[in-house]
Amino acid sequence: MISVIIPTYNEEKAIGDTIKRLVAGFSADAASPKPAIPYEIIITDDKSTDNTVAVARTAAAESGAQNLVIILAHETKHATIAQNRNAGAKIARGDLLVFMDSDCVIENMNESLTHAISLFEKDPKLVALTGKLGVLPEFETWGDRVVYFFFNLVHFFKNNIFHTGEASGKFQMITHNAFLKVNGYREDLVTREDADMFWRLLKVGRTYYDSSIIVRHTGRRAHKLGWPKLLSIWMIETFWVMIFNKSRVKIWKDIR
């Protein structure tokens, strides 16, 4: 079974379509209600103030999702997205965990995930993989194409050549056993928790970048802030974690 874990906070505009695409992608074909790949979708909602939870439940009912679980944060909002991801992993039943953002789409999902499963089956040392990232065609700019060309190149070299590990939280597929061995995501990291995860996973196995698995998203953060500002933020946070082993900021909204 594959457990897809999606952290959300005020994602009413994106989460409905994401759930519907996931359910359709897991289906053997349009006429069959039985999924080709056993799955569960876990939404870890972090005290959204909009209709995220209601939209998610409606989308699940309309699409015929057989295994949707929604976890609601209690008392206070989590400080980091890592806490949300770990909360989903704690109840996950799948042998493979897929961590995604709420606005992501896996192209040719059934075929892509079937291929990914075969990679894990063939190589017992493989503990995690990521795919080729890009922005959805209807939102994509030339800046997006240039930036993600280099991002994907970096992910290829760091995972497949240098074996230092690197991946975006937009798509990480990790074996459940390996996830438990490294004690999940570091909940103290506001940023770079995704790259840190792949780096620590190298202690228990091998990570891999596969360009045939294509994951697209809306590009909304880069389009809102602009690539120069967002890249500068990412570079500062990356070096800060490398040097001080902690995040520069305490909560994510401080760098938006």
On the 0-12 / 13-18 / 19+ scale of CB atoms within 10 A, 253 is exposed
Under 8 Å between Cβ of 186 and 107:
no
Query: What are the helix and strand counts (H, E) for the chain?
Result: 9, 10
144 pLDDT higher than 50: yes
pLDDT in tens, 108-128: 999 999 999 999 999 999 999
Q: What domains are there in the chain, each with its CATH number?
A: 2-221 (3.90.550.10)
Say what the pTM is.
0.93
Under 8 Å between Cβ of 174 and 96:
yes
Provide the CA 197 distance to its chain's centre, in angstroms.
12
Q: How far is CA 13 from CA 103, 127, 206, in A?
A: 9, 33, 36
Amino acid sitting at position 162: F
pLDDT in tens, 196-226: 999 999 999 999 999 999 999 999 999 999 9
